[in-house]
A and B are shown apart, each in its own frame.
Chain A
């Protein structure tokens, strides 16, 4: 058995981005976290960012374990504190790209205060929030996003609280990039994470995902595939949607898409601007002047653009088939990455060139980015491939799962 596992590990297309020495992971079959991690790993590859300069920070819970499986510098923190730890990492070394990968209970429950304040500061972080409406690790308790009337172990007669709509919360708090997908929209998740990795400011990506073992079983909603089908039938793609209209009712419609993408100086840019006013042009942070840091940033951007161009060339020749699209129909696979590649260098080129007055030029930035963004939106509406695959699998599975649900004892994990 161990040899088979070894073969699987060595052969995995994610071998370089995941810690294969820690596999198998703890997540249940049908859970959405695995596909999110897959999307994340794929997005990191596609983005062209230097994986050495990437730090992943997680809190506690099922999603909190992500930091332990990704093969980057990674920190598994205490419950709810992933964002402040990530804030420390980012501010202590602004060259790093910092991603917070955690669950909705961790981020919006115990860590809610940190979430809103990081958004308010426009801290340069990418926050990926797995929202499965449940505290999975502790056995399926109600969370701040559990829809009203849903059953959880601590709301055995139905949830009577009002849930958070996270995109609305994040919008109100000042996040500059907000997207929501479901774990069925794997390619859109990848796309959004890629965009977030390449932009500056606080990015919040919510991924609605099934907790098969607890939330689905307790609410008699079938298994993972049933839930993917539910997502497919009930997701409403609405880019730029008013975040006030993104609430999720129990088994109701789910508004998905990229809701917010705007530019505003980040915490560090604002702090630089203030310090330069005070100290003058020779202001240094950690021994580096602003022009020095800008030059480094520019060089890094060029390296990223070069990597992306090289990947695009490879993909055009069909040498590299991204792992995430392998399951999708072969015909479409080649087109999609090629498109993504085309728009990608354009976006990098359009990205603002660091100037002497580093700090405020959001207006220019926005203007330059606009065409690239439109392309991105188009690319993200390519969910059909995945959706079809899910549909095919769904009818077979549903019959089985219902039987399983009935037979399954009310077991919870400790």
Chain B
């Protein structure tokens, strides 16, 4: 990925005391996002508010659309008109966005969507935390498609990972979802925004070659293919229908195989470049706690207590949640006695861990139905059980 220093106009360098939602907006501006379309929904609204407040001074466009269907649709238009773009939402809004999330995947449109998760299903717990949209982010839109999802555990990471989300999104031309949650979104902490020249961003890559060679797509299972920008005279066509590299509809089984394979493999065959994990004392561990987002910070306490009891516990924190760190779990399975998977849902990512452990290690789910974070002792109990 070719990077350049960030445009200083969007970078509010220095130490700040801000919540995760605000950090999402600052991360977007630092990454060069100049278009935001959103719809208010607790607990993500603060990010939209921050962007709306900052937009005039940065020279960005903010629009509050009529709903989430329209918000993500506007991003697709804005992306093809040349802007880096973002929206934020949470469960109920994300459900609406899955419609055009599918179109964005199909048309390989770069965009960043932050889902500040709250308890569900339905209207659920508007002001309380959850991690219940993990599978929805991956499998929400109909049809086979693949996205990238990142999971910050602090306001600082909300900033850092938003910049990273834009970089991945631009390079792989795929929607990147930031799966944070109400706790991180509303948690105020120190956030240090580096000087602009220390923030590396992937600039928008617009095609500028001869018109006859212009192709909006290249089905080569790789990233890095340039976008075509509206107004540059290439007369591009894009559609949600199954299409060829020129963007024209070709509705056959053979063509769908080419398109779907590309969409999936563009991500799946580049997991080594995409996936980021935060590992601690995994070598020689008997038990590995696999966690993500706010839950990983609760797990720290349980892990420390377990280590005091003499249990060899390692920690694997998934910063990249999708694509799933399949390779790493397969490597560890059989070597460790058990994986402990705490998460604020009825057991979602644990299914992935179970699949990759394939019966070679025990997998213990520590689920929570949402509305609060875990009691560390519950995770500690699970670690003890896993060590037996």
Seen from chain A, the residues whose Cβ lies within 8 Å of a Cβ on chain B are 19, 21-22, 52-53, 55, 57, 67-68, 71-78, 80-81, 83-93, 95-96, 113-114, 117, 267, 271, 274-275, 278-279, 283-287
Closest to A87 in B: B74
Q: Main SS of chain A's interface residues? A: helix
Collect the chain A residues with CB atoms within 8 Å of residue B65's CB. Answer: 84, 87, 117
Seen from chain B, the residues whose Cβ lies within 8 Å of a Cβ on chain A are 34-35, 37, 55-57, 59-61, 63, 65-67, 69-71, 73-83, 85, 99-100, 102-103, 230-241, 248-249
User: Which of B37, B61, B70, B99 has a CB less than 8 Å from the CB of A114?
Assistant: B70
Roughly how many angstroms separate A47 CA and B231 CA in the complex, as a whole number? 17
Task: List 18 additional contacts besides A78-B100, A87-B65, A92-B78; criterion CB under 8 Å.
Answer: A68-B248, A73-B230, A73-B235, A74-B235, A80-B69, A85-B77, A88-B73, A88-B75, A88-B76, A88-B79, A89-B78, A90-B77, A92-B77, A92-B85, A96-B230, A271-B61, A285-B61, A287-B59
CB distance from B63 to the nearest CB of A (A): 6
Q: Could you list 8 examples of A-B contacts with CB < 8 Å?
A: A73-B236, A74-B237, A75-B237, A78-B99, A81-B73, A84-B73, A84-B74, A88-B79
| Complex contact A68–B237 (CB within 8 A) | yes
| Complex contact A114–B232 (CB within 8 A) | no
| Complex contact A88–B35 (CB within 8 A) | yes
Collect the chain B residues with CB atoms within 8 Å of residue A67's CB. Answer: 237, 239
- A-B contacts counted at CB < 8 A amount to 153
Collect the chain B residues with CB atoms within 8 Å of residue A85's CB. Answer: 73-74, 76-77
| Complex contact A91–B230 (CB within 8 A) | no
| Complex contact B73–A52 (CB within 8 A) | no
| Complex contact A88–B231 (CB within 8 A) | no
User: Which of A55, A68, A74, A77 has a CB less than 8 Å from the CB of B231?
Assistant: A55
Collect the chain A residues with CB atoms within 8 Å of residue B99's CB. Answer: 78, 81
Q: Main SS of chain B's interface residues? A: mixed
Collect the chain A residues with CB atoms within 8 Å of residue B237's CB. Answer: 19, 67-68, 73-76
Closest to B248 in A: A22
User: Which of A89, A267, A278, A284 has a CB less than 8 Å from the CB of B77?
Assistant: A89
Roughly how many angstroms separate A252 CA and B82 CA in the complex, as a whole number? 47
| Complex contact A92–B73 (CB within 8 A) | no
Closest to B55 in A: A275
Collect the chain B residues with CB atoms within 8 Å of residue A52's CB. Answer: 231-233
CB distance from B365 to the nearest CB of A (A): 36
Known: A52-B232, A55-B231, A68-B239. Is A81-B69 also a contact (CB below 8 A)?
yes
Closest to A279 in B: B56
Closest to A75 in B: B238
Of all A-B residue pairs in the complex, the 5 with the closest CB atoms, nearest first, are: A88-B77, A88-B74, A84-B73, A92-B81, A76-B239
Roughly how many angstroms separate A275 CA and B82 CA in the complex, as a whole number? 22
Closest to B66 in A: A117
User: Which of B55, B57, B83, B103 has a CB less than 8 Å from the CB of A92?
Assistant: B83
Roughly how many angstroms separate A21 CA and B80 CA in the complex, as a whole number? 23
Roughly how many angstroms separate A173 CA and B234 CA in the complex, as a whole number? 35
Closest to B67 in A: A113
Known: A52-B233, A92-B61, A285-B61. Is A75-B77 also a contact (CB below 8 A)?
yes
Known: A89-B81, A92-B35, A279-B56. Is A78-B235 also a contact (CB below 8 A)?
no
| Complex contact B238–A76 (CB within 8 A) | yes
Closest to B63 in A: A91
| Complex contact B230–A93 (CB within 8 A) | yes
| Complex contact A92–B82 (CB within 8 A) | yes
Roughly how many angstroms separate A81 CA and B65 CA in the complex, as a whole number? 12
Known: A89-B80, A91-B78. Is A55-B73 also a contact (CB below 8 A)?
no
Roughly how many angstroms separate A76 CA and B251 CA in the complex, as a whole number? 15
| Complex contact A93–B240 (CB within 8 A) | no
CB distance from A154 to the nearest CB of B (A): 22
CB distance from B38 to the nearest CB of A (A): 12
| Complex contact B63–A68 (CB within 8 A) | no
CB distance from A256 to the nearest CB of B (A): 30
Collect the chain B residues with CB atoms within 8 Å of residue A284's CB. Answer: 59
User: Which of B60, B81, B100 has a CB less than 8 Å from the CB of A93?
Assistant: B81
| Complex contact B240–A76 (CB within 8 A) | yes
Roughly how many angstroms separate A114 CA and B231 CA in the complex, as a whole number? 24
Interface centre among B85, B230, B232, B248, by most chain A C-beta atoms within 10 angstroms, is B230
Collect the chain B residues with CB atoms within 8 Å of residue A21's CB. Answer: 248
Collect the chain A residues with CB atoms within 8 Å of residue B73's CB. Answer: 77-78, 81, 84-85, 87-88, 114
CB distance from A118 to the nearest CB of B (A): 9
CB distance from A201 to the nearest CB of B (A): 17
| Complex contact B56–A275 (CB within 8 A) | yes
Known: A81-B73, A87-B74, A92-B61. Is A75-B80 also a contact (CB below 8 A)?
yes
Collect the chain B residues with CB atoms within 8 Å of residue A275's CB. Answer: 55-56
Closest to A85 in B: B77
CB distance from A84 to the nearest CB of B (A): 4
| Complex contact B231–A278 (CB within 8 A) | no
| Complex contact B63–A87 (CB within 8 A) | yes
| Complex contact A72–B235 (CB within 8 A) | yes
Closest to A123 in B: B63
| Complex contact B66–A114 (CB within 8 A) | yes
User: Which of B55, B230, B236, B240 has a CB less than 8 Å from the CB of A89?
Assistant: B230
